[in-house]
Structure 1
């Protein structure tokens, strides 16, 4: 079979994928099964001829075109079937697993993903791109996408299990995050001290658990996020906020679309804005429990750390700290920063930061667009306590909720995330990203990107 044959088969299958759901489901399964059988006859990618590689790429591209057409036509029907007409609230990984079973050929199976995860990112076949197609279409749908966002605002089972311990003792050690309650303040301390708080999937899970617990504890009125003291040689004994994504984990294949890139945005970061959803019963009151949040930037907030600052109500920075978003230089999309930064910093500065990698130092005038207060290290702790106390006002919650609604409508966020799901899935499997991350890891550099003292 030639590349032209693949394209001819695709044109035939597209009509079936756009037919009624039973026919479309059968067409998708048969077409992708046939395509896999053909690909299995080819040598390993490194041993293929140019002609064989062109055929393989055409076959994969045809399958993805077919999946996109299927989801463009049937996204809401698919979602309704997987969630029993939106009566079940499935998280990202649960939804993807259910889709793989109910609609063979639509998204990769658990086994396919496990096989890929066993090797480095550069050796993956890009199955997560198919997940990106799936989630992009779900999130584009006002009905299905809104329900998925709602599902992701619910507390995690881990947080629910730990809530009695936290409410009783005021302290939970989560591995990469320490959660402590002092008075009415929930203090989240990121403590990946060996990696400058560079995030991996374990830390995303710890962060979402900590945010859930802080929101669910009725004794907590304000949340505070800060980095702990580091053991990393370059910053030993100093507090560090965050160095962004853990590039070593990305290189090794341990940064996934559902477990990190989408979960981080739709999980704990979105909960910092909207709160946690706890009540299914009809009621006239708000259905989420939200609280004000303060962030403290010691040393730097790079990449994902800078993204976090955009959702906090009050940001305090040390005078020697800086902020940067080098994701475009690394070849990836910096989460929802493209969506949120413009409203804080304006279009020109946003492009300089995201597209050109501009650093913003806390003492520069431009920093006031991103942080509220700047203090010398010796004055920082006192400023933090004053900051959390100010956010305990009785009308803070209602006004915070209205400000967040005015600045970021749920529908705008949903539409952005629909495009992000696809674009980020493509980027993490792009050759330029794999080359950069591979060179970074081979150089035995620190496990973070862009972490360097101020010149």
Structure 2
């Protein structure tokens, strides 16, 4: 009898949101090659469906992700997808908003997956840390690059040089999290936040993400030039006309993504 291997990453459509769940709780949702491939596929599912407006990334079993599967790495497995980075996410550029819903541990690569998302919702007792230096490594999945851009330099360096974690409440105080919830409520809050995003024009949401990425480290003149190209495209869209018409008629807009 052939046995069917259960998926390591599950997806569930909840309204216009794709809930993506790392489902390897026995390994604290650590990322090996198979998890990375399936997470990349789930993100492709989000991008390909025009009825999906946002994604929520979380982990099964009360843990977000313990990061790279060190045992798999010792066997020679890579948790990276070429061109897309760790877990198929940290160097990818999803066009749709992605929210991390963090419960339990978000350590090492798990923290880096959260940093690769646009928004973070965390339970107050979650744990965020980049312990790579304790293992002779650096946080190469985006931690060293992204964290100093998100919080003050010296606070980021404390994460990176000590490897010591903080809890979800402290992450909120540092500005790493958009929402801090009671234990077990991160996904529910993230889904509510995703629904709020879905009320806005999908072309505009994607343009915001492109401009933010393009402006990162670029001179203002280049950033504004790129922004003008995005505005020109938006102004020619049916969604802009619908947004203006809906405002004038005092009704909710009906977005088509065109």
TM-score, structure 2 normalization: 0.74
Q: Does 1:255 align with 2:61?
A: no
For 1:365 and 1:178, the matched residues in 2 are separated by: 27
The correspondence of residues 261-300 of structure 1 with structure 2, limited to 5 A, is 265=85, 267-271=88-92, 274-275=93-94, 290-300=95-105
- Distance in 2, matches of 1:365 and 1:199, equals 23
TM superposition shift of 1:174: 7.1
- Runs of at least 5 residues in structure 2 that lack an aligned partner in the other structure: 219-258
The one of 208, 213, 227 aligned to 1:399? 208
- 8 Å CA contact retained: 1:227, 1:240: yes
- The number of residues matched between the two structures is 209
Flag the 1:219–1:308 CA change in 2: closer, same or farther, 3 A.
same
Q: How far apart, CA to CA, are the structure 2 residues paired with 1:184 and 1:408?
A: 33
2:116 is matched with which residue? 311
The answer to whether the Cα contact below 8 Å between 1:186 and 1:220 also exists between their aligned partners in 2 is yes
Query: Please, what is the CA RMSD of the aligned residues?
Result: 2.2
Once the two structures are superposed, residues 310-330 of structure 1 have per-residue CA deviations (whole angstroms, 9 ceiling, x without a partner) of 221111001111100011111
Q: Are the aligned partners of 2:17 and 2:191 in contact in 1 as well (CA < 8 Å)?
A: no
Equivalent residue for 2:195, pick from 389, 392, 402: 389
TM-score when normalising by structure 1 = 0.43
1:221 aligns with 2:40: no
Q: Secondary structure at the match of 1:349?
A: helix
Q: 1:344 to 1:207 in 2, by over 3 A?
A: same
Q: Distance in 2 between matches of 1:309 and 1:268?
A: 10
* Structure-2 change in CA distance of 1:244 and 1:382 (3 Å): closer
Quick check: which has more Rg, 1 or 2?
A: 1
The partner residue of 1:370 within 173, 176, 197 is 176
Looking at secondary structure, tell me which structure has more helix per residue. Answer: 1
**Is the contact between residue 299 and residue 322 of structure 1 (CA under 8 Å) also seen in structure 2?**
yes
* Between structures 1 and 2, the one with greater strand share: 2
Unaligned runs of 5+ in 1: 1-172, 230-238, 276-289, 410-455
1:328-361 deviation per Cα after TM superposition (whole angstroms, max 9, x unaligned): 1111221221111111012211211112112121
**177 and 408 in structure 1: CA distance in 2 versus 1, 3 angstrom threshold:** farther
Q: Give the aligned partner of residue 360 of structure 1.
A: 166
Partner of 1:176: 8
Runs (4+) of structure 1 exceeding 3 A deviation are 261-264, 365-368, 378-382
1:192 aligns with 2:12: no
